[in-house]
């Protein structure tokens, strides 16, 4: 897999639960072999979260969350691509020099990744809009002082219904976002394809392998949630792990595993 991407989508294999376990194991190995790169990309991502959380708290203005919705989808795919490239280089035995990795990331700005980021931003903003509509629908006529301090309003029938509907709709948006990106992002680094083809391929991979791919989504959600509890500190571990592991999952789906190759070349008894 050279730096000059080959055209077209590779023939993708069925996803198995063994692939998930193998991807996590190899992702953890990459973290140990290249810890500074994992810290670098995680710190860039977490620092933005710290800054936006502090600004939101200091100003008391929730509209800063809109900037979070825009900035994270812009930074996230490029940080992910950086981790993918580190794993790819480790797998190929190539050097992990900044003079080679950073230009690979910068080159993505001239390919399909910005368009992919724009789609992610669009979905985030649509969810923000629908979230406000849900709030207005169920809480528009409620007597409130300040929802930041009057939490009891959420315990009313309308408040509980709003939370339920909002959670379900938000989960559907998150699922859609996952389905169109989980394979698309590493695919865009690896091959020369347009972002629409990458999204369709990713969506089809999830629908064709619902069990393993939904288990992978649940693992991502669970680890990310736990990582965010200690003021985002856990993300320094979880983000590199998931970034490296996602590349290895894609690599197995697109090119098979070392175990499969060994079986393929072994002589018949």
Residue 4 has pLDDT above 80, yes or no: no
The confidence band for 151, taking pLDDT boundaries of 50, 70 and 90, is low
> Which of 28-32, 168-172, 196-200 has the lowest average pLDDT?
168-172
pTM listed for this prediction = 0.82
| 114-145 core/surface letters (b: 16 or more CB in 10 A; e: else) | eebbebbbebbeebeeebeebbeebbeeeeee
pLDDT at 46: 76
Distance CA 175, CA 165 (A): 15
> Under DSSP, is residue 85 helix (H, G, I), strand (E, B) or coil?
helix
| Residues 37-43, mean pLDDT to the nearest whole number | 88
The pLDDT of residue 138 is above 90 = no
Q: Could you report the per-residue pLDDT of 62-98, keeping only the tens digit for each?
A: 555 555 555 555 567 878 888 999 999 999 999 898 8
Question: What SS3 state is found at 8?
Answer: coil
- In contact, 199 and 119? CB cutoff 8 Å: yes
Nearest CA among 7, 38, 16, 44 for reference residue 243? 38
- pLDDT score of 67: 57
pLDDT digits (tens, 9 = 90+) for 181-206: 999 999 999 999 999 999 999 999 99
């Amino acid at each position: 897999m050279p730096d000059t991407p080959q055209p077209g989508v590779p023939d993708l294999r069925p996803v198995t639960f063994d692939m998930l376990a193998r991807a996590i194991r190899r992702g953890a190995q990459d973290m140990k072999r290249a810890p500074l790169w994992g810290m670098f990309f995680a710190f860039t991502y977490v620092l933005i979260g710290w800054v936006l959380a502090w600004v939101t708290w200091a100003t008391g203005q929730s509209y800063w969350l809109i900037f979070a919705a825009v900035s994270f989808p812009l930074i996230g795919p490029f940080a992910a691509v950086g981790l993918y490239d580190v794993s790819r280089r480790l797998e190929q035995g190539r050097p992990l020099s900044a003079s080679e990795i950073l230009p690979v990331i910068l080159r993505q700005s001239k390919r399909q990744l910005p368009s992919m980021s724009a789609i992610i931003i669009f979905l985030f903003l649509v969810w923000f809009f629908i979230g406000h509509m849900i709030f207005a629908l169920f809480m528009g006529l409620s007597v409130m002082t300040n929802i930041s301090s009057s939490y009891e309003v959420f315990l009313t029938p309308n408040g509980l219904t709003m939370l339920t509907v909002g959670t379900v709709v938000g989960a559907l948006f998150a699922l859609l976002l996952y389905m169109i990106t989980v394979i698309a992002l590493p695919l865009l680094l690896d091959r020369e394809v347009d972002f629409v083809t990458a999204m369709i391929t990713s969506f089809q991979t999830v629908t064709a392998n619902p069990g393993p791919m939904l288990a992978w989504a649940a693992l991502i959600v669970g680890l990310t949630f736990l990582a965010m509890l200690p003021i985002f500190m856990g993300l320094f571990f979880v983000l590199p792990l998931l970034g490296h592991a996602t590349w290895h999952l894609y690599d197995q789906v697109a090119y098979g595993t070392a175990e499969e190759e060994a079986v393929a070349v072994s002589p018949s008894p």
